[in-house]
Homo-oligomer: A and B are copies of this chain.
Amino acid sequence: MEKAMKENRLSSILFIVLFLCGSTSMAHKPFRHRPQPCNHLVFYFHDVIYNGKNAGNATSAIVAAPSWGNHTILSRLNHFGDMVVFDDPITLDNNLHSPPVGRAQGMYFYDKKEIFTAWVAFSFVFNSTKHKGTINFAGADPLMNKTRDISVIGGTGDFFMARGIATLSTDAFEGEVYFRLRVDINLYECY
């Protein structure tokens, strides 16, 4: 009798343990709650688009356009097809003249005729005492929305193998020459 109970008890323990291990092995499968980010960072970056007259200040330029566009003026139809390459300063606050802590380098293109919408692919490149390495981003940027989420598709250096979500918001927009984006980065895979 006592032996049976002991065996029972052993079975129960084994069951619990296996259950716990089992649920661990599912960790990569769907689960219902959003995990907590393992890193959170906030930056701003500043884009000054070349318009034929601001060569000294410009940090970006149109490099491709549809047949009805050109490379100096953003085209009609909500700039559909205009592609811009940029090398923008990153700052910790929303002041263009704050000391840059890195560069946002990459491209975006407008991709809808009816409203302003863009698609972006770029890197944050850091080489300071605080951060060394890069964070790589890609995704749709429906820029008329207050916030929009893009993917952190990878990282190097301090951000080795990072994955996560970056939430973009337009912090300032001045005609077709200057805009400033706030980037809230939440990493969910950190090494």
Instruction: Report A's interface with B, CB cutoff 8 A.
Output: 9-10, 13-14, 17-18, 20-21, 23-25, 27-31, 34-35, 38-39, 50, 52, 61-67, 70-72, 80-83, 85-87, 103, 105-107, 109-113, 117, 119, 121-123, 125, 133-134, 136, 138-140, 142, 149-157, 160-161, 163-165, 188-191
Chain B residue numbers with a CB within 8 Å of A38 are 29-30
Q: Closest CB-CB distance, A163 to chain B, in whole Å?
A: 7
Contact B149 A157 (CB under 8 A): yes
The 24 listed contacts between A and B (C-beta, < 8 Å) are A23-B25, A24-B25, A28-B28, A30-B38, A30-B190, A34-B191, A50-B66, A50-B67, A61-B66, A61-B81, A62-B66, A64-B83, A66-B71, A66-B85, A67-B72, A86-B111, A105-B111, A106-B119, A106-B140, A119-B121, A134-B140, A136-B151, A149-B156, A156-B165
Given A66-B85, A83-B85, A125-B140, list of 13 further CB < 8 A pairs?
A9-B10, A20-B25, A21-B21, A50-B66, A50-B67, A61-B67, A63-B64, A63-B81, A65-B71, A134-B139, A136-B151, A136-B153, A151-B153
Cα distance, A23 to B22, chains bound together (Å): 11
Contact A154 B152 (CB under 8 A): yes
Complex partner residue of A136 from B17, B117, B138, B191, CB under 8 angstroms: B138
Choose among A63, A156, A190 the residue with the greatest number of B CB atoms under 10 Å from its CB: A63
Q: Closest CB-CB distance, A152 to chain B, in whole Å?
A: 7
Known contacts A61-B80, A156-B151; A87 and B111 CB within 8 A of each other = yes
Complex partner residue of A154 from B24, B139, B142, B191, CB under 8 angstroms: B139
Cα distance, A81 to B59, chains bound together (Å): 11
Complex partner residue of A17 from B21, B50, B153, B157, CB under 8 angstroms: B21
Contact B30 A191 (CB under 8 A): yes
